[in-house]
Amino acid sequence: MSILSADYVKQGILVRTLTKGDIDKDSYISTYRGNLICSTLGCEAKLVFSSGRTKHFKTWQRSDHSANCIHRFERIKTGTGVDRSQVANVTASEERIQQSLKNAYFDSTLTNEEKEKLKKGSQ
């Protein structure tokens, strides 16, 4: 759920409440970056501005909303990176590696018409 307003806080003092129409990418970078918090009373979760197709505020990745905040959500721990449980380690001979590189280079130099001819010829 996108957040439609944010409080602009400077040195711990509320300066003003912003809506998505009050801010753009340039003003966010020059003025507001690092100084936006959730506008729900009692919540001090840090926010960032997203200036994509639809402007909105979103929760900073390392900040959580207070227990009574309407924007609160539970973070689900997930593993990041590559699932290595199904990976098999194999070794290839130097000859096999060189042949694979030659084949890859050959394939990269073919035109689309030549590739089609080769496909038809192998069927």
Q: What is the pLDDT of residues 53-93, one digit of tens each?
A: 888 899 988 888 988 898 888 877 776 666 777 777 788 88
pTM: 0.57
Q: What is the pLDDT of residues 2-48, one digit of tens each?
A: 788 899 999 888 899 998 889 989 999 999 999 999 998 889 899 99
Q: In the numeric block, which tokens belong to residue 37?
A: 């918090």
- Per-residue burial over 8-34, b if 16 or more Cβ lie within 10 Å, else e, is bbeeeeeeeebebeebeeeebeeebee
| pLDDT grade for 119, boundaries at 50, 70 and 90 | confident
Mention every residue, 6+ apart, whose C-beta is less than 8 A from residue 38: 3, 6, 7, 44, 45, 47, 59, 65, 66, 69, 71
SS (H, E, C) 45-81: CEEEEECCCCCEEEECCCCCCCCCCCCCCCCCCCCCC
Span 91-99, mean pLDDT? Answer: 90
